[in-house]
């Protein structure tokens, strides 16, 4: 019986560490994306307050990276209007531009009236159950006094309506438009009665979608988002230091 043939081993390949092996992206780019995402979340949620100074060195230390990816993330956030860079003074969290809010709200309202109307035309029973589940999550967050979870569920409700409408890309576009509106909305949630009011308005939108009544769904979404325009002045009066009145 002939001796078994020995298996040939493949020559070893020397790998060059370039960061994320799956995506092939350079490590600095991956770090910049992570820092950008985390910082953006902190800015939009007002964990970092308008007017607060930002330290490149401190962020680099907390992420365990050099200043290069931190600088990349900061420049991107500056382009979005969330940070202001003053070469001689430093980096600061931008204040919420009052002048930009009405236009962003009007754009959002027009687009979401459309998604609500289309959702009412197209919603399946399972999609309606998904919306009900998100709304229940909001009720639980409200009962627990958890405004962060409430806000996340609020975002998911609107994203799900767009998904049911068949146009999830509309919500992605709205997210780009409404970055300063989100910061402003965070200031409205602690106002007495605001969270229960949002839940009631979401219930009206869902009821119209479940009834497959497109015009009623459109009106319910319009009424829900119109409140954002009405509350700008009152919210600014409560927290004037967070807003920029320049035009």
Q: What is the DSSP string of 140-180?
A: HHHHHT-HHHHHHHHHHHHHHHHHHHT-HHHHHHHHHHTHH
Query: What are the backbone angles phi and psi of residue 213, rounded to the nearest 5°?
Result: -115, 90
Whole-prediction pTM value? Answer: 0.80
Check residue 177 and give its pLDDT. 92
Distance CA 189, CA 187 (A): 6
Under 8 Å between Cβ of 118 and 214 = yes
pLDDT tens digits for range 106-162 = 999 999 999 999 999 999 999 999 999 999 999 999 999 998 899 999 999 999 999
Q: Cβ contacts of residue 215 below 8 Å, gap of 6+?
A: 117
- CA neighbours closer than 13 Å in the CB half-sphere of residue 207: 9
Check residue 27 and give its pLDDT. 59
Under 8 Å between Cβ of 135 and 206 = yes
Strand partners, 91: 54, 85
Parse the chain into domains and list their residue ranges.
27-94, 98-244
Nearest alpha carbon to residue 227 among 156, 163, 154, 176:
154
Distance CA 140, CA 219 (A): 26
Q: Identify the H or E element spanning 127.
A: helix 125-144
One pLDDT digit (tens) per residue for the chain, 247 residues: 444 444 444 443 333 333 444 444 455 568 999 999 999 999 998 999 999 999 999 999 999 999 999 999 999 999 999 999 998 899 999 999 999 999 999 999 999 999 999 999 999 999 999 999 999 999 999 999 998 899 999 999 999 999 999 999 999 999 989 999 999 988 887 777 889 999 999 999 999 999 999 999 999 999 999 988 888 988 888 889 999 988 6
**Token output for 165:** 């409408």
Q: Identify the H or E element spanning 135.
A: helix 125-144
- Tell how far CA 169 is from the center of its chain: 14
Strand partners, 84: 92
| Fold of the domain built from segment(s) 27-94 | Arc Repressor Mutant, subunit A (1.10.10)
Check residue 231 and give its pLDDT. 83
Under 8 Å between Cβ of 137 and 149 = yes
CATH superfamily membership of 98-244 = GntR ligand-binding domain-like (1.20.120.530)
């Amino acid at each position: 019986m002939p001796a078994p043939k020995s298996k040939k081993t493949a020559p070893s390949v020397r790998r060059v560490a370039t960061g994320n092996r799956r995506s092939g992206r350079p490590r600095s780019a991956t770090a910049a994306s992570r820092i950008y995402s985390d910082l953006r979340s902190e800015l939009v949620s007002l964990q970092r307050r308008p007017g607060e100074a930002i330290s490149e060195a401190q962020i680099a230390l907390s992420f365990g990276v050099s200043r290069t990816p931190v600088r990349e993330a900061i420049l991107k956030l500056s382009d979005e209007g969330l940070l202001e860079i003053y070469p001689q003074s430093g980096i600061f969290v931008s204040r919420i531009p009052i002048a930009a809010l009405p236009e962003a709200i009007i754009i959002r309202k027009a687009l979401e009236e459309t998604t609500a109307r289309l959702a009412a035309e197209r919603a399946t029973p399972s999609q309606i159950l998904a919306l009900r589940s998100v709304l229940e999550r909001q009720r639980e967050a409200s009962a627990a006094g958890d405004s962060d979870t409430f806000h996340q569920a609020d975002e998911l409700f609107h994203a799900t309506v767009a998904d049911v409408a068949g146009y999830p890309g509309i919500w992605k576009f709205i997210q780009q438009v409404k970055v300063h509106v989100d910061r402003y909305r965070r200031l409205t949630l602690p106002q007495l009665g605001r969270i229960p009011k949002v839940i009631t308005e979401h219930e009206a939108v869902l009821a119209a979608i479940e009834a497959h009544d497109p015009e009623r769904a459109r009106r319910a979404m319009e009424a829900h988002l119109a409140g954002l325009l009405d509350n700008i002045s009152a919210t600014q009066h409560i927290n004037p230091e967070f807003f920029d009145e320049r035009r």
